[in-house]
Amino acid sequence: MKFSTLWYSIRQGVKNIRRNLMFSLASIGTMVSCLFLFGIFYMIVVNFQAAVQTVEKNVTITVFFDYGLSEEQIAAIGEEIRYREELNTIEFVSAQEAWDKFCAETYGEENASIITDAFVGDNPLANSASYEITLKDVAKQTEFVEFVEGLDGVRSVKNSEAVANGLASLNSLVGYASMAIILILLFVAVFLISNTITIGITVRKEEISIMKLIGATDFFVRAPFMVEGVIIGLLGSAIPVIILRYIYENIIEYLMARFPIINILVNFVTTEEVFATLTPLCLIVGVGIGLFGSIFTTRKHLHV
């Protein structure tokens, strides 16, 4: 494309927006509304999935060893487990640490020392040394447990299968539901915005016909409308992103300041993490809808 043609298309695209300001504002407003709803839902889903993943990573698998196993053999088992990709954390708990923890949980911190002193040299949990393990993805727990149970020197593996299955099912359900709702919102956005652009271009079908009759190519006719669609897409996607970022930052700050307990119960996904994905996604969707909406809706007016 020649620079003069490009510059002409840009100028005409801007003129089209100003000349048909009501249709342009309607398109921008429709896009802002749809992408705003999309962004709200996206932020909710991202934080919910982050909360589920946090719970998943706290589901513990406990590995107990055969009686009389040496420290070297226990360490060797740990090394084999560390090679697994699904591993998140692994921590060795000695028999004494297990006994101290049991006393603290059963009798309270104040009385625990009395009980442990009474059993000095005679630990009732002498064979309770273990590895406490968490996984990155709780859905892989069954496969991981089968692997560990097959290792030499492993006596038993204690895991919360019901909790793991419940969290895995919940995570899958949220994933499928969010994909379905996001696709519905995008379909609605495409439908509404395409209709709005169609109305605006239909009003100018006489102008398009005249340009074709004097020998203008399809691309030359279509280019200003493509520019118009891109500008509308940029504005329609940038506005909700700015509003959503402001809302998200202030809501999190308000909740954490007003309800301090939320800091303990919920770890919100940071603004940077949320908008590192949401910003380019909204811009791509907005520009894409504006661009391709203009291309498709001008097609039927190019034949005269």
Q: What is the 3-state secondary structure (H, E, C) of 116-158?
A: HHHCCCCCCCCCCCEEEEEECCHHHHHHHHHHHHCCCCEEEEE
Using 50, 70 and 90 to split pLDDT, how confident is the model at 118? low
- 210 located within any domain: yes
Residues 132 and 48 in one domain: no
Residues 50 and 185 in one domain: yes
Q: Which two tokens stand for residue 222?
A: 């279509």
Residue 156: partners with Cβ closer than 8 Å, 6 or more residues away: 64, 149
Do strands 61-65 and 154-158 pair parallel, antiparallel, or not at all (unpaired)? antiparallel
Residues 258 and 114 in one domain: no
How far apart (Å, rounded) are the C-alpha atoms in residues 102 and 100? 5
How far apart (Å, rounded) are the C-alpha atoms in residues 32 and 233? 9
Determine the structural domain holding residue 272 and report its residue range: 3-55+166-299
How far apart (Å, rounded) are the C-alpha atoms in residues 141 and 87? 10
Residues 122 and 210 in one domain: no
Residues 24 and 86 in one domain: no
* Residue in 297, 293, 302, 299 with CA at minimum distance from that of residue 232: 293
- 263 located within any domain: yes
Residues 128 and 186 in one domain: no
Domain count along the chain: 2
Q: With 0-12 CB in 10 A as exposed, 13-18 as middle and 19+ as buried, what is 27?
A: buried
Q: Which two tokens stand for residue 28?
A: 């921008």
**What would the pLDDT profile of 190-207 be if each residue is shown by its tens digit?**
676 666 666 666 666 777
Residues 41 and 112 in one domain: no
> What CATH number corresponds to the domain at position 152?
3.30.70.3040
Using 50, 70 and 90 to split pLDDT, how confident is the model at 119? low
Q: Which residue has the higher pLDDT, 211 or 303?
A: 211
Last residue of a domain, one of 102, 135, 160: 160
- 189 located within any domain: yes
pTM (predicted TM-score): 0.68
Lowest-confidence segment of 62-66, 140-144, 245-249, 291-295 by average pLDDT: 291-295
Phi, psi (rounded to 5 degrees) for 71:
-60, -35
Q: How many CB atoms lie within 10 A of CB 169?
A: 11
- 50 located within any domain: yes
Last residue of a domain, one of 118, 133, 160: 160
Angle at the Cα of 16 (from 15 to 20), degrees rounded to 5?
A: 115
Mean pLDDT along residues 155-175: 74
**What would the pLDDT profile of 70-101 be if each residue is shown by its tens digit?**
888 888 888 888 888 888 888 888 777 766 67
CB 64 within 8 A of CB 158: yes
- 135 located within any domain: yes
Residues 95 and 176 in one domain: no
Task: Give the chain's length.
Answer: 304
Q: Which residue has the higher pLDDT, 105 or 259?
A: 259
* Residue in 193, 198, 195, 192 with CA at minimum distance from that of residue 301: 198
Residues 78 and 143 in one domain: yes
What pLDDT, on the 0 to 100 scale, is given for residue 112? 55
- 274 located within any domain: yes
Phi, psi (rounded to 5 degrees) for 18:
-70, -40
What pLDDT, on the 0 to 100 scale, is given for residue 219? 75
Q: Which two tokens stand for residue 207?
A: 């102008």
Residues 128 and 273 in one domain: no
Residues 214 and 283 in one domain: yes
How far apart (Å, rounded) are the C-alpha atoms in residues 100 and 114? 11
How far apart (Å, rounded) are the C-alpha atoms in residues 139 and 172? 10
- 304 located within any domain: no
